Structure 1
Amino acid sequence: MQHPTVRFLREDMFASLHRWTGAAEPTGELPLDATVRALDDGGVDRGLICAWYGPAGPLISNDEVDACVRARPDRFRGVASVDIRYPVAAIGELRRAVQDLGFVALRIVPWLWGLPPNDRRYYPLFATCVELGIPFCTQVGHTGPLRTSETGRPIPYLDDVALEFPELVIVAGHIGYPWTNEMIALATKYPNVYIDTSAYAAHRYPPELVAYLREHGRAKVLFGTNYPMITPRRALERLGELGLDSETRAAFLGGNATRVFRI
């Protein structure tokens, strides 16, 4: 999830998402209490707030995320992002976010950069994630914003990363549609690869993902929202239609994330 800044909400590249969701143009800064209420409304205890860095700079900086976490440490943990064009500075910022600010993961959105995750510019960060003991979070599947979707193909790009960095914990968000079976194949193939369901309401999960979640993927799929695009309540309102048993449901809604992010 994100606690969005005004510059994030007003970014032109999200116009297609506003069209899909019917969201109104933001008129001012979203209070943190509004995001907390969104969690409460959906029955969510804790959210992972992601920073957002791209070639034009941060739409949500690590320090802005940290301010949210410090204000409500009972409800939020931070997920860092960095500028991948400058490896030395990026590694330093990632170390600061984890070691000084207590962030629990790194997230890079490949389509923001137009670079798939097997590009050489990610690799120093992958090594640093392993050293720091944190997951690497990314996006797979098509893009909602009007940017290329190619960077979100699980195979070959994320396949290369998992093969070359077997110690790296990878959490691939947004399911991977229309390449969902590729993403399931990677999560099955590699012990440290996981899928999160952010940006999808439960009734929109592809059937193959639901089957995987019910069966041998019970420990490999994590619930997510991509808030503010989708609220927790909307993401969960038809969860009962998936037919999950109580053990699988508990793992999906929190147990898997608690283990993967060590929180």
Structure 2
Amino acid sequence: MIIDAWAQHPTLRHAQDPIFASLHRWNKTEPPKEEIPLSLTIAAMDAAKIEKSLISAWQAPGRDMISNDEVASFVKKYPDRLIGVGSVDISKPMQAVREIKRCVEDLGFKAIRVLPWLSEAPPTDRRFYPIYVACCEMGVPFCTQIGHTGPLMSSEVGRPIYLDQVALDFPELVIVGGHIGYPWTQEAIAVATKHENVFIDTSAYTAKRYPEELIAFMRGHGAKKVLFGTNYPMIFPQKALEHLDRLALSDEAKELFLGGNAKRVFKI
């Protein structure tokens, strides 16, 4: 089983948001002019033999880029293929706590994702702490981005070392840091090694671009700590999996990376 730990089916307002101009420049693409059909996302999964994708809502301060209800509607159409990941606005803590409960209890989501750079606040900011409590109480992982930001926003808030303090304060909280933490990948590995419930996902990077220190971690004592992810549609699953053999993983490590770890972490 291959599970994509970080994907999204973008709404048109998400895909056209000016914040992603730098990504379109990198990929030499133009923002879409029409809504992307959900069938295209499923076809992209099929092409790479992805059995399940965790698709994320996007909540920026004051606006839904991809709402939780939209994600729920996507999952409803393909319940055997898509798994919902909710998002909340940390500037409204009590509303966010209630929304996390709704996401888990009513919508059946398996995790909550909040991106620090959207609020220009590190994960140690006091506004995040009610989110962590709610995730602990609801028994779902907290997912976030670690590393530099592709969009033209501050990267400092993505330093993986911030998660060290969060994990110390909330040892019960399962934390998944996406985007491998580059250029601070060694920080990410150190934090994941130190804390039982901290994990890394490889979204936004193709296998060809994984840093050597991450590959060594996956081959060794970090085999149970790294999850495959794409950040689709930025990277299509088939492209993300190219050069997978370059990693030279054992059969066991490869199975854990592609699906076993995600299955355990997200209770799939």
Matched, 1:148 2:154: yes
In structure 1, the residue matched to 2:33 is 27
State the SS of the aligned residue for 2:65.
Answer: strand
User: What code does the residue aligned with 2:250 have?
Assistant: D
Return the letter of the residue paired with 1:105. Answer: A
Q: Is 1:180 matched up with 2:180?
A: no
Distance in 2 between the 1:229 and 1:238 partners?
A: 18
1:257 aligns with 2:262: yes
Amino acid aligned to 2:34: G
Q: Unpaired runs of 5+ in structure 1?
A: none
Q: 1:193 corresponds to which residue?
A: 198
1:53 paired residue number? 59
Moved >6 Å (runs of 4+): none
Residue 183 of structure 2 aligns with an amino acid whose one-letter code is: P
Between 1:21-30 and 1:81-90, the stretch displaced more is 21-30
What does the per-residue CA deviation read over 1:17-56, in whole Å, with 9 as the maximum and x for residues that have no partner?
A: 0111122320200000000000001110000000000114
Query: Structure 2-normalised TM-score?
Result: 0.97
What TM-score does the superposition give when structure 1 sets the normalisation length?
Answer: 0.99
| C-alpha distance in 2 between matches for 1:119 and 1:56 | 18
1:222 matched to 2:227? The reply is yes
Equivalent of 1:129, from 135, 143, 146?
135
Q: Deviations over 1:55-111 (max 9, x none)?
A: 141100000000000000010010000111111111111100100000000000000
Alignment correspondent of 1:171:
176
1:239 — aligned with what? 244
Once residues 170 and 80 of structure 1 are traced to their aligned partners in structure 2, the CA distance between those partners, rounded to angstroms, is: 14
Figure out how many residues of one structure are paired with residues of the other and give that number.
Answer: 262
Q: In 2, Cα distance between the equivalents of 1:80 and 1:113?
A: 16
Compare relative contact order (CA 8 Å, sep 6+) and give the higher one, 1 or 2.
2
Residue 159 of structure 1 is matched in structure 2 by 164
- Given that residues 167 and 173 in structure 2 are in contact (C-alpha distance below 8 angstroms), is that contact kept between their aligned partners in structure 1? yes
Aligned Cα RMSD in Å?
0.6
Displacement of 1:118 after TM fit? 0.6
2:108 corresponds, among 102, 108, 114, to: 102
